[in-house]
Structure formats: C-alpha cells, structure tokens
Amino acid sequence: MTPEYGSSVALEQKGEWHDAPKQPSLPEVHRSLRVPKSGSWLRKFLAFAGPGYLVAVGYMDPGNWATDLAGGSLFGYTLLSVIMLSNLMAILLQALAGKLGIVTGRDLAQACRDHYSKPVAMGLWVLCELAIAACDLAEVIGAAIALNLLFGIPLLYGVILTSFDVMLVLLLQNKGFRYIEAIVIALIATIAGCFAVEMYLSKPDVTGILGGFVPSAEIIRNPEMLYIAIGILGATVMPHNLYLHSSIVQTRRYEQTSSGKREAIRYATMDSTIALLFALMINAAILILSSAAFHRAGMTDVAEIGDAYHLLTPVLGTTAASILFGVALLAAGQNSTLTGTLAGQIVMEGFLNIRLKPWLRRLLTRLIAIIPAVIVTALYGESGTAQLLILSQVILSLQLSFAVVPLVQFTSDKRKMGEFVNPPWLKMLAWTVAIVIMGLNAYLLFQTFFG
C-alpha cells in the first residue's frame, strides 16, 4: 500500500524528515481521545473541542494585563481595534499550528529538529526555553500579585507558594487529558464571569466600544499610542502556544486518511477560533474596564495591576469590583501554569528527543522562573516585579519570530504538507502576518532599550 502523500511515513521515505523521532508528541496522551466516525457535526466538534482553550490561555495571561490596562486608562476605547487585529493574527497562526500537527504527525519542535541542522535546532530550543521561562515568570508574578491583593500574602511568600502548583499539574496529567481541558475551561469561565460583572458595574459607553473596534489613524500619528499598540500586538501571540497547539491536536484519534485529516483540520480550526474569540472578549474587557473606570474619571496613568485593583473599589463604589478583578487575575495565572507545563514538555522532547519525568521538568521550569522573581521581589518589592513583568514580555517578543517563521515555512512547503499545503492566498497572508509581527517586535524592542 502506498503511503498517503503528506503523511509522516511518506515524508520519511522521501527523505524529508531526516531524523524522525522515535515516539509521538506527548506519547502518554497521543491519540488517546476517541473521535466518533458517525453522528452529527456537533458531536464531532465536541470531540475536538478543548485544545483551543488551552491555547487561548496564553492570550489572557497576566503578562497581557498591563498593556490592556495602560491602553484603556490613557486612550479610552481607541486601542480595541489593535486587540482585535492581534487576535485575528493569532487565529491564523494557531490554525496553521494545528494543521501542521494533524497533517504531519509532528509538533513544531519535532518539525524544526527534523528540518534544520543540529546547531540551528539547538539554538531554536534555547530561545524557546527562554520564552517559556519568561512566560512562567509572568505567571508566577501575576499569581503572587493576586494572592497579595486578595489575601494580603506578602509578594515574596506568594512567589514561593506558586511553586506548589506543580502538584496540581501532576495530578491532572495522571487523571487524563480531558481533565486538564475541563479545568482550563472552568478557569476561563471564571475569568469571563468576573469581567461580565465588572462590565455591569462599570457601565461602559456602548457607542464608544463599537467605535473603538474601528481602526483609527490617530494610533499611527500619536507616538505614545503607537508604542502601547505595538506592545499589545507584540505580546499577544505567545511563541510557545504554536508548539503547544501543534502537539495537543494529536490527542484526538482521527482517521489517518486524507478525508479524516481534512475533517480534523476543520474542527480543530473551529475549536481554536472560537476559543481565541473568547480571549479577544476577555482582553477587550480588561481595556474596556480600564477605560470606563479610570479614563472616564481622568485617571490616565493606571498601568500596574496593583493600582487598578486598589482604585476599582473607590471608582466603582463597591469592593466587589476589586475582589472580582483579583479572582480573575489569580485564575489567569493558575491557568497559564497548566499550559506552561505541557509546552515545556513538548519543546524539550521535540527538540532534544529526550524525556524527563513531568515533575522534574516542571520543577526545573518553575525554578528558572522563581529564582529571579524571588531575588527581585526581596530586593525591590512591588516596583521590581512590575519591571520584571515588562522584561518577560520583551523576552517573549524576541523569541516570537523564531517560532512564527518555521511554522509558516513548513505549512507552505508542499514536500511536507502534500495536498494540505497552504494555498497561494493563505501563503501570502501568513507571510504578511509573519513580517508584520517581526517588524513590530523589532520596533518594540528598539523603543524599549533605546527609545
């Protein structure tokens, strides 16, 4: 029987994957979830639903909150169009990541290891590990700030406490992949519920919100507005999410045929698109809340999470506003923890083809994040953690291009994708998005260090 064009077997025979990994991505859960062969489209869609929400977590982590808060307090609803544009870019890139995993049976890390020379692959691995550590750093600080705001736990102790969430991750991994997806979706629902109440309390201007989603030339003309807009764009697409998505779509036991893969791509794309639209709503809600509560009251310098928490009660006239804000922040930090664990495992196994026990892998990642957070918190307190949060986003911006370019390159290569290769219009759109992201991140980094 001739291997299907676009399958991993066919690609190995063609010599395209010169160093095929001996085991699949996330082998303990690979193809572990059954997909019904018959039934309604809704039943099939629900079988594929889940991975998109794990990916969406990265688009609402504590690292994004500062830019949304600053944008809302300074410029009202104007930058909502930037949040929408950045999420549309994310939807495209995540759809490509899912397609790569479904068609080739490789996650992005394995694909890089197979395609590039060993020195290049090792360089990409180091950069990706730095990005995961930076993202973990944002989660550690975000969760510690939430614990401090809600329960008065000192920041230093809060940072140390976050290291124990490794136990939760291990427990969920042992239970099965659906449990991880269920917890993530429940936490996203918690965040959404908190901000729904915040919207009711803050009574935002609906006309202003609708106008904010229309791109404005002022964003380009105003240097300060442009800088925050680039910060929102540059920090929205998380590089490790591309590795994560290309792996976790393979947890579904879809048919290894042309029609089976095409169906899997369709439902996986629907899943990630809907989930990222939720992320768009939550990011927009943070900016809308900041605009309705602070910009309207003339408070245009609210950029730090702690300031927003303390000001919400007097501005909106109820302590519930601050409490819900803190709960949403804690849920966002803990949610990101779960996906960070999986992304770290995928990247290390994919690039190096070695496996560490999950608890050891998580502990190493957590230590890399916690050690600088503990040192800076002990020396400089809350102001230091705010600067560390910004630094983590800069590191993520630095690494992003090194994940986006291989993804677009691989999915646009017919030798790898066969009949599923990106059509010319999609190829052009994907490269345009990649170039825009690279340019904006380069500008953001230049302004951060020299502006």
As beta bridge partners, residue 34 has 253
Whether pLDDT at 43 is above 80? yes
How confident is the model over 73-80, as a mean pLDDT?
A: 93
- CA 325 to each of CA 226, 229, 252, 291: distance values in angstroms, whole numbers, following the listed order: 27, 23, 35, 15
**Residue predicted with more confidence, 2 or 330:** 330
Phi, psi of 316 (to 5 degrees): -95, -10
Q: Which pLDDT score, from 0 to 100, does residue 16 have? A: 46
pLDDT tens, residue by residue, 275-291: 999 999 999 999 999 99
**Residue predicted with more confidence, 265 or 444:** 265
Residue 443, both tokens: 């500008």
**Residue predicted with more confidence, 40 or 103:** 103
Query: How many angstroms from the chain centroid is the CA of residue 355?
Result: 24
Mean pLDDT is lowest, of 81-85, 149-153, 187-191, 224-228, for 224-228
Q: Is the distance from CB of 205 to CB of 77 less than 8 angstroms? A: yes
Q: Please state the domain extents for the chain.
A: 8-450
If DSSP codes are grouped into helix, strand and coil, which group holds residue 263?
helix
**Residue predicted with more confidence, 65 or 18:** 65
How confident is the model over 168-173, as a mean pLDDT?
A: 65
Whether pLDDT at 10 is above 60? no
pLDDT tens, residue by residue, 234-275: 667 778 889 999 999 999 999 999 999 999 999 999 999 999
pLDDT band at 354 (very low <50, low <70, confident <90, very high): confident
pLDDT band at 20 (very low <50, low <70, confident <90, very high): very low
Whether pLDDT at 67 is above 70? yes
Percent of the chain residues past pLDDT 90, beyond the cut: 46
Q: Is the distance from CB of 62 to CB of 305 less than 8 angstroms? A: yes
pLDDT tens, residue by residue, 110-141: 999 999 999 999 999 988 888 887 777 777 78
Q: Which pLDDT score, from 0 to 100, does residue 401 have? A: 86
Whether pLDDT at 85 is above 50? yes
Percent of the chain residues past pLDDT 70, beyond the cut: 89
- CA 8 to each of CA 101, 208, 269, 444: distance values in angstroms, whole numbers, following the listed order: 10, 51, 21, 39
Q: Is the distance from CB of 97 to CB of 104 less than 8 angstroms? A: no
Whether pLDDT at 75 is above 70? yes
How confident is the model over 36-52, as a mean pLDDT?
A: 90
**Residue predicted with more confidence, 15 or 129:** 129
**CATH classification for the domain delimited by 8-450, as one of 1.20.1740.10, 3.60.21.10, 3.10.620.30, 1.20.1250.20:** 1.20.1740.10
